[in-house]
Amino acid sequence: MIKVAPNSREITFDRQELIVSKTDLRGKLTYANRVFMRVSNFSEADLLGKDHSIIRHPDMPRGVFYGLWKALKSGQEFFGFVKNITSDGHYYWVFANITPDVVNGEKVGFFSVRRTAPKGALQVIEDIYRQMRDKEKGFPPAQAPEASWNWMVQNVLETRNQSYEQFVIELYQEHSQGGAR
């Protein structure tokens, strides 16, 4: 996998644009739309057949991906805020929806649609993600993702009496223009 040194330049894309990708069951990219390629600055050849994690920014707590895979493995869709890295080290935030890709009743992979993430929502989520990363430092690597996910569930979600999905969708709607999706 390509390792890119992150920098502090943010890349943005239009609110009307959608980043779309498909993966196989193991998370290897099988499709990337032009918006994905333009925003991430990866060519189709750089993306197809590679792990979707090629765009994973090191600021992302591993616990979020623990929750993502937990939802997907149970057949549920996943919603969440994700910070990604471009081929040249820049970053971009998305609000992601990932669903199982089912063909003829058989799960063949995953389909992801990402939108721009509202700045107000990111002010909330970045602090939570920072705390999750801090929690992960106190655990062995194999236990860190589950530990930080459980910390977030207990200290953020349970106090709000919400699931992660409810929490992030509410954040997205609250901070999108006019509360609209």
| Mean pLDDT, residues 126-131 | 98
| Mean pLDDT, residues 90-114 | 96
pTM confidence score? 0.93
| Mean pLDDT, residues 57-64 | 97
The predicted-structure confidence for 130-180, as pLDDT tens digits, reads as follows 999 999 999 999 999 999 999 999 999 999 999 999 999 999 999 996 544
What is the SS3 string spanning the chain? CCCCCCCCCECCCCCCCCEEEEEECCCEEEEECHHHHHHHCCCHHHHCCCEHHHHECCCCCHHHHHHHHHHHHCCCCEEEEEEEECCCCCEEEEEEEEEEEEECCEEEEEEEEEEECCHHHHHHHHHHHHHHHHHHCCCCCCCHHHHHHHHHHHHHHHHHCCCHHHHHHHHHHHHCHHHCC
Class assignment of domain 19-179?
alpha beta
Confidence label for 15 from pLDDT (cuts 50, 70 and 90): very high
| Mean pLDDT, residues 75-81 | 95
